[in-house]
Chain A
Amino acid sequence: MDLEAFRAGLAEWLARHHDELAPTHEGAGTLDQQVAQLRKVKRLAYDAGWMRWGWPERVGGLGGSTLLRAHLGEVLTGADLVEPGSYSMTEVLAPTMIDYARPELAAEMVPRLLRGDETWCQGFSEPGTGSNLAGLSCRATRTDQGWQVTGQKVWTSFAQYAQRCILLTRTGSLESAHRGITALFVDMDSPGITVRPIEMMNGAREFCEVFFDEVAVPSDRTLGAQGQGWAVAMDLLPFERSTALWHRGAFLDLRLRRLLDAAPPETLDPMALGETVQRLATLRARSRATQHRMAAGERLGPETSVDKLLLSEAEQSLFDLAQGALSAEMLAGDEPVDDRWRAEYLYSRAATIYGGSVEIQRNIVARRLLELGDER
């Protein structure tokens, strides 16, 4: 299945199933509605085959280039059928399972994620550990059956909807830093897990605290080897900074078009508008190159920090422009369409914070790409 055939076939399928695929809610919808919509679209796309292309056959895929799944993501977000953030979790978490889980576990679990039968979350950050991921302290101690986990995670997206969690735990001493971290695949219905959604300033409770109180995790749920958790994280993070961004770029293009339609005359500053369009095009060009490198089998690494920084700038530029042009609606409107712009504007303030803050990304660029030596 080549990209052209996929493109054509998918377009035709989307047109034919337009009504089934369309969201039943107005505007952005609640988080519950967004998650239900995502599950529906994934199920329909999986059953029709589209969702399976670009993934290995041993995990329920149909093989083929990763460009195929990049294209699917672009089309679904670009058509406003799914919200890019939650859609891209698959792109971030499935490769980790494929690379680090026991083959039988990956074969059993990944299809559930692809089909939308399950939602997964990512347990990385902690109250005391944000940018300094190596300092995490959620502890996993050895038991006869495997592990016992006690600790707390925070900023865990969609944990309240998740059946599974890819969890980073400390298995070594506190001094062992990144060397004493182990990744586990945890069932969210395990006794001892409490999830508490956090209300964010954009009105959504997308991020959660997750408490682990002596949670039992079997040995065979270890991802990779004991002490290999840092490598798992370092492999996963570039996906957050690359493939997920291709979908987000498509979403930003969609919102730009909506803005051009919605903005009253004379409200768009030409210079700012021109710059925004250019920033989006720059992001797309760079992200496209990254998708092609990945499809060619190249390993993604610190260079993805460039993609993330370009995304942060592009997203904030777009919503700054929107805020200026749709000021009345955004600041004093209550229609679903106003709610959506408002929520998206507020969420865009976090674009320089999530997925590795811009300070961290610049640190990575400085150390790994510019090779400026140690920071002191």
Chain B
Amino acid sequence: MDDAERQLFGQAVRRATETHTGAALDTALAELGWLDALEADPHTAVAVLFDAQGAANVTSSALGQVLRAALGLATGQSAVLLPPLGQWDPPARVEAGLCVNGLGLADLAGADTITVVAEAELGQLAVTVSPRTLHLRTVRGMDPSLGPLVVAGEVPDAADGSTLAPGAWAAAVDHARIALAYELVGASGALLELARDHALERVQFGRPVASFQAVRHRLAETYVAIEGARALTDAAAAQPSTEMAAMAKAVAGRAARQAARHCQQVLAGIGFTTEHPLHHYVKRVLVLDELFGSSRVITRDLGRRLSAGGTLEPPITL
């Protein structure tokens, strides 16, 4: 896409996320050509949609589509089972049959079929499974609006599975992490905007609370964390590698948690109520951080690997 096309595309996607959520958003995205963009210009498609999705606090099947595209599967069909929170290995193993333990989001609830990636003796498989053969349990958890489902079970016959190319799941994890990093950046931006708006309106001691340096510096630190995360995620999206995707996800997750903390503080009492949208974002970023590995675990694993003699990835160049 050239700059003009990218701008129009961005506007259309943002409009869609501001108007719809769930299945309705999926329909709107398909209509404006998001699935085509995912194939033709995946960097733009992912950056634009996931930032907008995070900012609007809506849901879609887009993460599953990103996984499908990275796995070499046709997009637009079948929901994809995610690993349990905090993990990133395939959510199933082939032993006697197909042993499944994963996480579904809202898009999985009404799906006709589920794609389950499984670790098998000779490699990894993508198995198409009917939801009826698995046990799906809706949980509320921290963020019920994500529609989380714990999905488990044993399917005796794993015949309907295609072998994935070596490294395909690992690459899919990288792409999922980049998408989630953008979503975290988008949510962080929305948190900051909520706090900023409040600080400018709320008057105490005869002046807007935005005029107090303590408040200004909290928001400034949040801004810096978000801009840093955005730059790193852009760099990872431009040249995806496992290390860069992991770093982007971790940095975006940490920035989002920082944003949640600082913006909660600035929004004070009113932000703590359910009448104010802040709590939706605070809860959402916690779950997004844990998907495909939290900032804590990714960061610690990076440090462990390096201090055990692992090599540093070459630095970002011009």
How far is it, in angstroms, between the C-alpha of A116 and the C-alpha of B224 when the chains are bound?
A: 36
Q: Mark A76-90, 1 if CB is under 8 A from B, else 0.
A: 000000000000000
Q: Does A154 contact B (CB under 8 A)?
A: no
Q: Does B223 contact A (CB under 8 A)?
A: yes
Q: Does A273 contact B (CB under 8 A)?
A: yes
B200 close to A373 (CB less than 8 A): yes
Listed stretches A168-176, A202-210, A220-228, A252-260; interface member: A252-260
Looking at the assembled complex, report how far the CB atom of B7 sits from the nearest CB atom of chain A, in whole angstroms. 17
Inter-chain contacts of A376 with B (CB < 8 A): 207, 211-212
How far is it, in angstroms, between the C-alpha of A374 and the C-alpha of B213 when the chains are bound?
A: 10
Inter-chain contacts of B208 with A (CB < 8 A): 373
How far is it, in angstroms, between the C-alpha of A70 and the C-alpha of B318 when the chains are bound?
A: 8
Q: A282-B231, A376-B211 are in contact. Are A270 and B318 (CB under 8 A)?
A: no
Q: Does A285 contact B (CB under 8 A)?
A: yes
B307 close to A263 (CB less than 8 A): yes
Inter-chain contacts of B217 with A (CB < 8 A): 359, 362, 366
Q: Mark B200-223, 1 if CB is under 8 A from A, else 0.
A: 100000011011110011011101
A275 close to B299 (CB less than 8 A): yes
Q: Does B250 contact A (CB under 8 A)?
A: yes
Q: Does B157 contact A (CB under 8 A)?
A: no
Q: A263-B307, A286-B227 are in contact. Are A370 and B318 (CB under 8 A)?
A: no
A285 close to B312 (CB less than 8 A): no
Inter-chain contacts of A3 with B (CB < 8 A): 318
Please indicate which of the listed interface residues A274, A289, A362 has the most CB atoms of chain B within 10 Å of its own CB: A274
Inter-chain contacts of B221 with A (CB < 8 A): 309, 362
Beta-carbon nearest neighbor of A288 in chain B: B316
Inter-chain contacts of B228 with A (CB < 8 A): 282-283, 285-286, 306, 310
Inter-chain contacts of B232 with A (CB < 8 A): 278, 281-282, 285-286
Q: Does A284 contact B (CB under 8 A)?
A: yes
Please indicate which of the listed interface residues A71, A280, A362 has the most CB atoms of chain B within 10 Å of its own CB: A362
Looking at the assembled complex, report how far the CB atom of A268 sits from the nearest CB atom of chain B, in whole angstroms. 4
Which residues 271-309 of A have a CB within 8 angstroms of B? 271-275, 277-278, 280-286, 288-289, 291-292, 306, 309
Q: Mark A41-80, 1 if CB is under 8 A from B, else 0.
A: 0000000000000000000000000010011001000000
How far is it, in angstroms, between the C-alpha of A309 and the C-alpha of B276 when the chains are bound?
A: 31
Inter-chain contacts of B306 with A (CB < 8 A): 260, 268, 273-274, 277
Beta-carbon nearest neighbor of B226 in chain A: A306
Q: Does A363 contact B (CB under 8 A)?
A: yes
Chain A: how many interface residues by the 8 Å CB criterion? 52
B247 close to A278 (CB less than 8 A): yes
Q: Mark B290-305, 1 if CB is under 8 A from A, else 0.
A: 0000001011111110
Tell me if B's interface is mostly helix, strand, loop or mixed.
helix
A268 close to B303 (CB less than 8 A): yes
Q: Does B116 contact A (CB under 8 A)?
A: no
Q: A306-B228, A370-B220 are in contact. Are A268 and B234 (CB under 8 A)?
A: no
B247 close to A372 (CB less than 8 A): no
Q: A288-B318, A373-B211, A376-B211 are in contact. Are A270 and B219 (CB under 8 A)?
A: no
Q: Which of A70, A285, A374 makes the CB contact (< 8 A) with B316?
A: A285
Looking at the assembled complex, report how far the CB atom of B140 sits from the nearest CB atom of chain A, in whole angstroms. 31
A274 close to B302 (CB less than 8 A): yes
A282 close to B229 (CB less than 8 A): yes
Inter-chain contacts of A289 with B (CB < 8 A): 231, 234
Q: Does A231 contact B (CB under 8 A)?
A: no
How far is it, in angstroms, between the C-alpha of A282 and the C-alpha of B219 when the chains are bound?
A: 19
Q: Which of A288, A310, A362 makes the CB contact (< 8 A) with B235?
A: A288
Inter-chain contacts of B303 with A (CB < 8 A): 268-275, 277
Q: Does A133 contact B (CB under 8 A)?
A: no
Q: A310-B224, A365-B223 are in contact. Are A372 and B315 (CB under 8 A)?
A: no
Inter-chain contacts of A271 with B (CB < 8 A): 296, 299-300, 303
Inter-chain contacts of B224 with A (CB < 8 A): 306, 309-310, 365
Given contacts A271-B299, A273-B303, 6 further A-B contacts (CB under 8 A): A71-B318, A260-B312, A269-B303, A292-B318, A365-B224, A370-B219
Q: List 19 A-B contacts (CB under 8 A).
A: A3-B318, A250-B315, A268-B303, A270-B300, A274-B299, A274-B303, A277-B303, A277-B306, A281-B235, A282-B231, A284-B315, A285-B231, A285-B232, A310-B228, A362-B217, A370-B192, A373-B200, A375-B211, A376-B211
Residues of A that sit less than 8 Å from B by CB? 3, 67, 70-71, 74, 249-250, 253, 256-257, 260, 263, 265-266, 268-275, 277-278, 280-286, 288-289, 291-292, 306, 309-310, 359, 361-363, 365-367, 369-370, 372-376
Closest 3 CB pairs of A and B: A270-B303, A274-B303, A274-B299
